[in-house]
Structure 1
Amino acid sequence: MDKPIRKIIHIDMDAFYASVEQRDNPLYRGKPIAVGGSPEGRGGVVATASYEARKFGVRSAMPSKRARELCPDLIFVRPRFDVYKEVSAQIRAIFHRYTDLIEPLSLDEAYLDVTVDKLGIGSAIEIAHAIRKAIREELQLTASAGVSVNKFVAKIASDLQKPDGFAFIGPSSIEAFMEKLAVEKFHGVGRVTAQKMKDRGIFTGADLKKLTEEELVRDFGKTGAFYYRIVRGLDDRPVQPHRETKSVGAEDTFQEDLSSLEEMAPELDRLSVIVRDRLQRHQLRGKTVTLKVKFSDFRLITRSFSLPVPTDDLELIQSTVRQLLRGVLEEPVKIRLLGVSLSNFGEPPPTVQLGLFFTED
């Protein structure tokens, strides 16, 4: 007997933290605001920007000083994690009216499997509209939704009409849709990989589809096999309600190779800020700090150090990865990628400190 076609919804709140702040404070409504660190001092980063701020080019994970340069009237708001967590629980309760197969990706984003729904509605489209309506009427917030037969396509669909958007990509239209999609719109294709594809004449899904799986693996490593499948709309990953976080990390590939500690240290500090804030978002502390380094010849190494107790302390993370980096720089090198991650988690911290919580919204 054939398996039923899955019905997957991806819900993504619109500028979640900024929208909550605008909802709760009338003075912020209609104005460009950024939730995150202040541009004064060291290490301030934008967690989420309102859509009014995005018109100026302000984006998540952008240094706050740069955001202020782009938008001189930008209002910086300190994050209220306890409030965002409470609102997230209210959103999750709305999801549970329809299904218990919910895979949260963060406080403001989740996959729902409604192949079989609690209320016997039978239509993923109808359920997605009902969820968006409930969020709007009960919480005075907006969410965008994508509906399809798998997680990958549903996630792309949710981003098509943001904010307050909806898109359905049915089974018969998936391949044609993916062929027209620009490579930078593929979830999992970053800025540097997209440029590498374009240098090879790959601009759309149709261009990507011309390459064999072997060619993609040769050019893009193990993710090449993933690209081969998703450009054909193939994704059999289940919605995982109890997915366990194994590690928390961040990495960046640089347009120009870095060759000195003076160039690399600020990048490591920035990545450490992102990792610390993701740890706090998931209420995690890690014992093992890992540095990832990719050299200009694409050689990849990792170096790890295990601390005596789990931590989410920013200064400790930064000093540890810097020490690991010094061991790599014993001879002249050129580095194109740096990454920082924590793993080997202990018990969640008893209290959650305010920090920056990065989202893709």
Structure 2
Amino acid sequence: MKTIFHIDVNSAFLSWTAVKRLKDDPGSIDLRSIPSAIGGDTETRHGIITAKSIPAGNYGIKTAMPVVKAMELCPDLVLAQSDFTTYRMYSEAFIDILRKYSPVVEQVSIDEAFLDLTGMEQSIKSLIFQQIVDGTLHDRDETIGPLSSLECSQLIQLLKNFTLLDEFRFSFSTQDDTKEPLYETCYKYSDSEKLETLIHILNSGCAQRTELLKLLPFPLNAAVLIKDEIRDTLGFTVNVGISLNKLLAKMGSDLEKPDKIHTLYPSEIAEKMWKQPIGSLFGCGGKTALKLEKIGIHTIGEAAVMDPDILTAVLGENSGLYIYNAANGNSYSSVSEHVEEAKSISNELTTSQDIDISNLETEGTKILRKLAEQVSRRLKKHGLFAGTIGFTVKTDDFKRRSIQRKFSDSTNDTEVIYDAALDLMYELLLGFNPDPASNISSEPSTALDATYGSDSARTSDTRIDTTNRDFSLPSSQTGLFGMGYKIRLMCISTTNFDHGEYRQMTFDDLIKHSASLEKEKLLSKKRMMKKQKIDELSKTLRLKFGDHVVKKGIIS
């Protein structure tokens, strides 16, 4: 049986900012203890909430919420700016600790990772013994003190549940010739004297890490060791989810927070997972959850017992089967250190002011240029060329509307990306593309959630003349602006990547990448200039001395 951990930093950006502030100024208030968040500028209304404290969550503030909305919910919300230098530093330290305990660490984002600890029971025991011998655990006991009563009570409950899991049950039979076979069940740790000793230590009120880790069963000992080392040495907390596959480990770590360890084995799915809302299932997005709720599926358990044919009919074959398998705890991917290439690269920006027809040509195009430069830079950094470009906006009713098209040739060029995004922007916002000579393929645009044609409440009967452009179209063709919407966020996205192997080599590419062709181009230019001078001289001589002076290009 596999042993998979998912370890997730609690409110990573906010925690890391709080730790740095306390390190720089020990007398400052801990952001984690007050309503606080990492977000944008409240004056310019720029940005969204990227992390929040637990007290902020009590006000209804959520990640990805616009800053202005968060401030409405909690006027006293303390906002801190993002600090990616600090985030990278703590992320690297976090991953370094994980690599001490497993040779297979799959970092899935800046603040979370999977570990495969299968077959590492003896290795973990050796690491514990090593930390006992070198005094590491003793020093932490001396510095930090014994485990708190809350930690002890949580560990007692975790132990009691763990030792009775079906996954750790053993069956054996006793039989004699005169009786039917008799089957009895025992649990791996249920009769162990170690378990009784552990409970006694945890109930003593002075539980020391040294004695506790000697007795804790695997893999709980590894989870406690990793979780507490991160907290005690780096200053922030994590959640640890333990199971036999990645999906359940991830779902386990998302249970009660912060600073918690949770098991979620198949025998616990019904109790711990099925009662949760369907939207909390890993891999089930908001739109998928809405579709499922429309057919009466509100919890993960309801999806788990639903006929797979119904799920595939509603969601499509791939998504339907995924939801059914995931709801039943089935996952087949393994932990791997191999980093998969990005499936999409995008950048978005919340506007400092609403974008409408009056400032589209000034503010809107500036934002679009900046986004194109950022996307191009990221594509080039990863050596990727995009085959599809998308343009997304968030309107003043906080809904996203998107449009996308394929490039005629994959690219990572800033100007090509900008020009293509400009075409899509005009099509989505104004209802037409003012530039017929576009680098986008002639295939029709794909509108994603951009069902503006049916929004009659917003439709205006007036005709719109765009700034600096002599276009005037009926309201049915004037896009989102024609319906009265304003824009609060703009995004450029790219997908369908290649490494340039499928790109058509253009003459410009050859000139750019071939020194010999560049040299030939210069020589050709010089020859043309020389010929032009000779022709001009010949013409002058003919006019002055007659045609007989120049014969076949030779001056006589």
Q: TM-score range by the shorter chain?
A: 0.7 to 0.9
CA distance in 2, matches of 1:230, 1:242: 23
Structure with greater Cα Rg: 2
The corresponding residue for 1:291 is 390
The equivalent of 1:36 in structure 2 is 39
Long gaps (5+) in structure 2: 23-27, 126-216, 348-355, 393-401, 433-443, 452-490, 500-556
Does residue 324 in structure 1 map to residue 452 in structure 2? no
Q: Given that residues 33 and 53 in structure 1 are in contact (C-alpha distance below 8 angstroms), is that contact kept between their aligned partners in structure 2?
A: yes
Higher relative contact order (CA 8 A, sep 6+): 1
Structure 1's 304 and 97: CA in aligned 2 closer, same or farther, altered over 3 A?
A: same
Instruction: State the match for 1:22 in structure 2.
Output: 18
Which amino acid is 1:68 matched to?
Answer: M
Name the structure 2 match of 1:169: 264
C-alpha distance 214-340 of structure 1, shift in aligned 2 (>3 A): farther
Which of 93, 98, 117 is matched with 1:95 structurally?
A: 98
Query: Who is 2:459 aligned against?
Result: none
Q: Please state if 1:336 is matched with 2:449.
A: yes
The change in CA–CA distance for 1:250 and 1:153 in structure 2 (over 3 A counts) is farther
* Cα gap change, 1:54 to 1:223, in 2 (>3 Å): same
Is the Cα contact below 8 Å between 2:5 and 2:240 reproduced in 1? yes
Provide, for residues 70-103 of structure 1, a one-character-per-residue CA deviation record: whole Å limited to 9, x for no partner.
2212222221111111111111111111112111
After superposition, residues 114-153 of structure 1 pair within 5 angstroms as 114-117=117-120, 119-121=123-125, 123-153=218-248
Q: Secondary structure at the match of 1:243?
A: coil
Q: Please state if 1:108 is matched with 2:111.
A: yes
Determine if contact 2:404/2:445 at 8 Å carries over to the other structure: no
Is 1:33–1:50's contact at 8 Å kept on the other side of the alignment?
Answer: yes
Paired position in structure 2 for 1:352 = none
What is the rounded CA distance, in whole Å, between the counterparts of 1:207 and 1:95 in structure 2? 36
Q: Is the 8 A contact 1:132 1:142 kept in 2?
A: yes
What is the number of equivalent residue pairs in this alignment?
314
Q: Judge which range, 319-328 or 119-128, deviates more.
A: 319-328
Q: CA separation in 1, counterparts of 2:335 and 2:38?
A: 30
Report the equivalent of 2:5: 9
Cα displacement string for residues 25-55 of structure 1 (whole angstroms, at most 9, x for unaligned residues): 2434133222232122264222212223222
Which region of structure 1 is more displaced relative to structure 2, 223-232 or 184-193? Answer: 184-193
Q: Distance in 1 between matches of 2:277 and 2:42?
A: 34
Q: Which has the higher helix share?
A: 2
The answer to whether the 8 Å contact 1:213/1:228 transfers is: yes
Q: Which TM-score applies when normalising by structure 1?
A: 0.74
Provide the secondary structure at the position in 2 that maps to 1:236: coil
Match for residue 258 of structure 1? Answer: none
Secondary structure of 2:115's aligned partner: strand
Deviates more, 1:284-293 or 1:79-88: 284-293
| Residues 389 and 404, structure 2, Cα contact 8 Å, conserved in 1 | yes
Q: Aligned AA for 1:341? A: S
Residue by residue over 1:297-344, the C-alpha shift from the partner in whole angstroms, topping out at 9 and shown as x without a partner, is xxx984134685466x9xx97875453354575599985269953354
Contact 2:403 2:446 in 1 (8 A): no
Is 1:223 matched with 2:319? yes
Q: Provide the residue aligned with 1:238 in structure 2.
A: 334
The more displaced of 88-97 and 208-217 is 208-217
Aligned-residue CA RMSD (Å): 3.7
Residue 196 (structure 2) aligns with: none
